[in-house]
Amino acid sequence: MTAGNVVFLFVFVIAAGFFALNVQRLVSYLQLGYAEGRTDHPLVRLRNVFEIGIAQKKIFRDPIAGPMHAAIFWGFMVLTAGTVEILIAGVFPKFTFEMFLPKAIYTLYSASQDGFAVLVLGAVSFALYRRTVLHPKRLDGDDLEHTDALIILSMIGGLMITLLLSNGFLLAAFPDAIGPEKVFSHVLGSLFSSTMAPRTALARYHIFWWAHALLILSFLNYLPYSKHLHVITSLINVYFSNTSGPGVRGAMRPMDLEADVEAFGASDVEQLSWKNLLDGYSCTECGRCTAACPANITGKLLSPRKIVINTRQRLMEKAPVVTHDRMDFMRPALSHGVEDYSEATDEEVLGHRLLDTYITEEELWACTSCRACVTECPVSIDQLDIINQMRRNLVLTESRFPEELQPVFESLERNGSPWAFNAADRADWAEGLDIPTMAQMQERGEKPDILFWVGCMGSFDDRAKKITVAFARIMKACDINFAILGQEEACHGDPARRMGNEYLYQIMAKNAIETLDRYEVTTIVTHCPHCFHQMGNEFPQFGGNYEVIHHSTFIERLLQDERVPLKTAEGQKLTVAYHDSCYLGRYNDVYEAPRASMKRALPVITLVEAPRSKDRGLCCGAGGGRMFMEENTGKRINVERTEELLATGADAIAVACPFCMTMMSDGVKANGSEVPVYDISEVVASQLRAGQPA
C-alpha cells in the first residue's frame, strides 16, 4: 500500500460515510408515511424488476429516448462491476477480478467495460444534445430544473472519458498492462504512445485515475441531492410497486372508515403511504406521464409529474422539521423547482400542506383516472394513487369539491344512480322485451346462468339504452339464460369512489353485494366498463366475488363459438375506428375482444387505429367522475379525441362503453361531423339474422 492508497482509503471512507448518512436520512423520511406491506408475491415483484427495470420494457415505449436510456442504464449495470474493481484497487493496488475469475469470463468482462464506456459516452452525448438543442416538449413545463440534468449527464460523460483516458494513458506507459480485449483503450493507448514519453503518460494515467475515482465518489454523493436519485431508487421502487401487479391493477385502496382518525384521505405527506413517498424519490421528471395525460394535453392544470414532484418537495420541506433532523444542508435537496420554501421557518413549514400549498384542488379534480400516467411510468410510480387519496381528503374531511358533484352524491344516495332519475324507471328499456328479473325467476323457482347488470347509463340514458337493448337482443338470439335485477339494481358506487367519496361508495357497494348474494349470483355480464371493473376488481375488497364479464368479451366468446345467428356478410365496406375505453383497456387489458367481435360479425369491416390506441389510447374525458363535472379549462378532451378518430377517415366510430359513447357522440357533433358512433354490440346486433327478437 502506497501513501496514495492511504489517501484514497481516507477519501473513500469519508465519501461512503457521507453517502450512508444521506441514505439513512432519506429512509427515515420515508417512515413519515403510513406503513403498508409491500413484500407479498416476491416472484411477481422480481418479475417486474426484470421486465420493467432491467429489461427497460416501458423505457422502450419512447422510440428515441428509449434506446438512449437503455444504453446508459445497461452501461451503468455493467460498469458498476468495474467501478467496484477500481475502488478496491484504489486501496489494494494489486487487486483485480482476474485473481478469481476464469480467464474467458474475465476477458469478456474486461471487454464489456471498454465497449460500454464508449456506448454510454455516445448515449450521454446524444442526451445532452437532445436536452440542449432538441428540447423535447415533455422535458419542459412544471418549472423543471435543467441544471441538475446537465450536471448529471456531464458527470456520467466525465466518468466515461476519465475511464477511457486513464486506460489509454496506462497503455501508453505499459503497453501490456491491459489485455487486447479493451479495443478502444488500445486505440487511445497507441495514439498517446506516439505523442508522449511513457513517463508523461504514466503521470497522466495517475491524474485521470484519480479524476475518475473522485468523480465516482462525487457522483454517488450528488445523487441524494438530485432528481437522479432514481439511479438508486428505481429498481427498489419497481419491486415495491403494485401498478403492474401483484394484486388487482387499478383497484383503489379500501379505507377503514371506522378508524378513529383526525382526517380521512391525504392532505399532507404523513397521510400518504411510505410507498407514495418513495415514488417521489424515484421520479426523474422524464414527463412521460404528463405527456400522456389527457387533462394536461388539453390544457388543464393537472400534470401527474408535478403531483409526484410536489410530493417529494413537500417531504423534503417537512421531514427535516418533524424528524428534528437539524442538518439543514439536506433541506434544499430534491426540493428545487415549483416553490422554494428553503427560507421558511419551522412554523411556516408546519403551516404548509401538500394540499393547497403545493397541489391545488383544481389539479386534483382534473384527473380522469384514465391510468395513462401509471401505464407510461418507466419506474412504476403510482401518480393516480396520490390523486385518489387527496381527493378523499377533499371530500371526506373537508367537503370541498366542484359544486356540480353535490347533486351527484345526493342522487346516488337517494336514487341509486348519479342522475336524478327515478329508480322505478330503471327497467323501462326492457318493456316488451320479455326479459325476466331475478325476482321473477326466483318466484318461478328458476335461476338464470347469468345476471345482466345494466348499469345506470344503460338504464337511464336514451342513447345507452339502445346499447342495452342491442346487447339483450344478442343474448336472446343466442338463447342465453339471463335475467336482470330490474328495479333492484342500484349503482355500486364506483363514481362516488372515483370522486373521493369512499363513505358513500362503501355503503352502495355493500348494498349491491348484498343484493347479488341474495340471488346467489355467480356470473355477471355488463356493457359498462366501469361496472365491469368495479364489480370484478374492487368488490372482492368487501367480500363480493363474482365472475364479471364485459359484453365485448362475452360477445366475442359467443361469436367464436359460432352461437350468434348472423346474416351472411354483405353490404358496403365499412371503415371503423375503435376508441379504447380506459377501464376496459388500461385497467383490464381488454383490447382485442371489442375489435375481434366487430371483425367476426362483420368481416367486411376495416378497422383503423388512431395514433393513440390500445394502452396508449386517449381517454374520452368522462372517467374519474369527470362525466359529472364542468370542463371549462382548455380544450375539451372528447373533442381532442374525436378529432383524432375522425382524422383516420373512418366511416364510423366504435366504442365499448356508454360513457365513451356520450363523449364521442358529443365530440363528433362539436366537430360538425355526421360520423355515427356505435357500440360494438350495436355493430354485432345489426348483423343478427332476421327472425331474431327485435
C-alpha cell at 307: 403531483
Q: Judged by CB under 8 A, which of 253, 463, 557, 689 binds other proteins?
A: 463
Compute the distance between CA of residue 418 and CA of residue 501 in angstroms, rounded to an integer. 13
Q: Judged by CB under 8 A, which of 62, 385, 461, 682 binds other proteins?
A: 461
Q: Judged by CB under 8 A, which of 148, 363, 382, 502 binds other proteins?
A: 502
Q: Hey, how many other C-beta atoms are within 10 angstroms of the C-beta on 548?
A: 23
Q: Which helix (H) or strand (E) holds 475?
A: helix 462-477
Q: Would you count residue 476 as binding other proteins (CB under 8 A)?
A: no
Q: Judged by CB under 8 A, which of 73, 274, 409, 591 binds other proteins?
A: 409
3-state secondary structure 584-620: CCCCCCCCHHHHHHHHHHCCCEEEECCCCCHHHCCCC
Give the residue with the Cβ less far from other proteins, 473 or 599. Answer: 473
- Minimum separation from the CB atom of position 449 to other proteins (A): 29
Strand partners, 483: 451
Give the residue with the Cβ less far from other proteins, 267 or 303. Answer: 267
Q: Would you count residue 431 as binding other proteins (CB under 8 A)?
A: no
C-alpha cell at 351: 403551516
Q: Would you count residue 395 as binding other proteins (CB under 8 A)?
A: yes
Q: Judged by CB under 8 A, which of 6, 20, 55, 670 binds other proteins?
A: 670
Q: Judged by CB under 8 A, which of 399, 444, 445, 674 binds other proteins?
A: 399
Q: Would you count residue 406 as binding other proteins (CB under 8 A)?
A: yes
Tell me, rounded to whole angstroms, the distance of Cα 310 from its chain centroid: 17
Whether residue 669 contacts residue 638, with contact meaning beta carbons closer than 8 Å, is answered with: no
Give the residue with the Cβ less far from other proteins, 525 or 627. Answer: 627
Give the residue with the Cβ less far from other proteins, 301 or 507. Answer: 507
Region from 70-78, 133-141, 170-178, 413-421 binding other proteins, contact rule CB under 8 A? 413-421
Q: Would you count residue 254 as binding other proteins (CB under 8 A)?
A: no
Q: Which of 284, 146, 160, 150 is nearest to 216 (CA)?
A: 160
C-alpha cell at 528: 359498462
Region from 52-60, 132-140, 272-280, 414-422 binding other proteins, contact rule CB under 8 A? 414-422
Give the residue with the Cβ less far from other proteins, 188 or 629. Answer: 629
Whether residue 234 contacts residue 282, with contact meaning beta carbons closer than 8 Å, is answered with: yes
Q: Would you count residue 361 as binding other proteins (CB under 8 A)?
A: no
Whether residue 163 contacts residue 209, with contact meaning beta carbons closer than 8 Å, is answered with: no
Q: Would you count residue 263 as binding other proteins (CB under 8 A)?
A: yes
Count Cβ atoms within 10 A of the Cβ of residue 26 and give its class: 0-12 exposed, 13-18 middle, 19 or more buried. Answer: buried
Q: Which of 405, 569, 560, 621 is nearest to 497 (CA)?
A: 405
C-alpha cell at 52: 420493467
Strands (DSSP E) found in 501-633:
523-526, 547-550, 574-578, 605-608
- Minimum separation from the CB atom of position 295 to other proteins (A): 16
Q: Judged by CB under 8 A, which of 48, 56, 282, 397 binds other proteins?
A: 397
Q: Judged by CB under 8 A, which of 135, 146, 253, 414 binds other proteins?
A: 414
Q: Could you give phi then psi for residue 70, rounded to 5 degrees? A: -60, -40
Q: Would you count residue 489 as binding other proteins (CB under 8 A)?
A: no
Q: Would you count residue 678 as binding other proteins (CB under 8 A)?
A: no
Q: Judged by CB under 8 A, which of 404, 443, 514, 517 binds other proteins?
A: 404
Q: Would you count residue 628 as binding other proteins (CB under 8 A)?
A: yes
